[in-house]
Amino acid sequence: MKTIWITGGSSGIGFASAKKFLDENWRVIISSKNNERLEKAKSLLIKESKNKEIYAIKCDIINKKEVENSIKKIINEISNIDIALLNAAAYSPNKSQEFNIENYELLIDVNLKGTLYCIDILKEYMTKNNGGHIALVSSPVGYRGLPTAGAYGLTKAGLINLAESLFFDFKKLKIKISVINPGFIQTNSTNLNAFPMPFIKSAEFAANKIYLGLVKSYKFEIIFPKFFLFILKIGRILPYKLYFYLVSKITKL
């Protein structure tokens, strides 16, 4: 039986992915900084799946020592980690468009530094274990700058660039890297958005696409829904003058 560790596993895409991997007969370890929500998620997963190989370990990824202890506990007491799905993230839309340094610091701490702490410790163990697979959950918001998304977009752009770099750097260590860029997914985070979200999909839809991209056939970038993401990818190659004009028109800013 193979093992996946999912950060941010108590809700949203993380919880749905835990359910999908459990149903596919994987050993699943979920973590979150909120122990109460984590235990509720574990109980719900036990009720909903025939596979009972589910474990919950509290882990606040912005605390490097806690990350180290959590991974050490998994390796020593449960199993080696075949796939690490680094899904934990902070999301705080800046509806006022004001530059708020505290918001930037929060998102950088969780989305970038927290993810880097996980990668740092995972690299050590996966290298000793002759390989593994690390998947970073990013966002197409990281493709190009968007209004009200300075802090969030900055961190997600950083994760995309990081994944591209680590693809080369970790290949020699036999560690596979994937980056996951979902479109709009119905979660507690997207419920904070005050604008229409085209092609919005369920967390279960996302979990199925993640499973297929990580397990059935390895993909570096896992995107969904494909048509919507294809449109966003076109925006990456537009010259600034045209890009700024189109975004200003669409957002009426």
At 195, give phi and psi (nearest 5°): -125, 160
Per-residue pLDDT of the chain (253 residues; tens, 9 = 90+): 999 999 999 999 999 999 999 999 999 999 999 999 999 999 999 998 899 999 999 999 999 999 999 999 999 999 999 999 999 998 876 666 788 899 999 999 999 999 999 999 999 999 999 999 999 999 999 999 888 888 999 999 999 999 999 999 999 999 999 999 998 787 666 555 555 555 677 889 999 999 999 998 899 999 998 888 888 899 899 999 999 999 888 877 5
Please check whether residue 20 is in contact with residue 212, taking contact to mean a CB–CB distance below 8 angstroms: no
Please check whether residue 129 is in contact with residue 2, taking contact to mean a CB–CB distance below 8 angstroms: no
What is the secondary structure of 162-226 as a DSSP string? Answer: HHHHHHHHTGGGTEEEEEEEE--B-STTGGG--S--TT-B-HHHHHHHHHIIIIIS--SEEEESH
CB neighbour class for 51 (10 Å; exposed up to 12, middle 13-18, buried from 19): middle
pLDDT of residue 58: 97
pLDDT of residue 195: 55
- Closest Cα to residue 20, out of 57, 51, 58? 51
Query: Which tokens go with 253?
Result: 């800013």
Residue 188 Cα to chain centre, angstroms: 14
Which domains does the chain show, CATH number per domain?
3-251 (3.40.50.720)
* Number of Cβ atoms within 10 Å of the Cβ of 113: 16
Residue showing tokens 């300075």: 150
Query: Which tokens go with 81?
Result: 């980690």
Backbone torsion region of residue 137, taken as left when φ is above 0, otherwise alpha when ψ lies between -120 and 50, otherwise beta? beta
What CA–CA distances, in Å, run from 117 to 67, 78, 251? Answer: 7, 21, 36
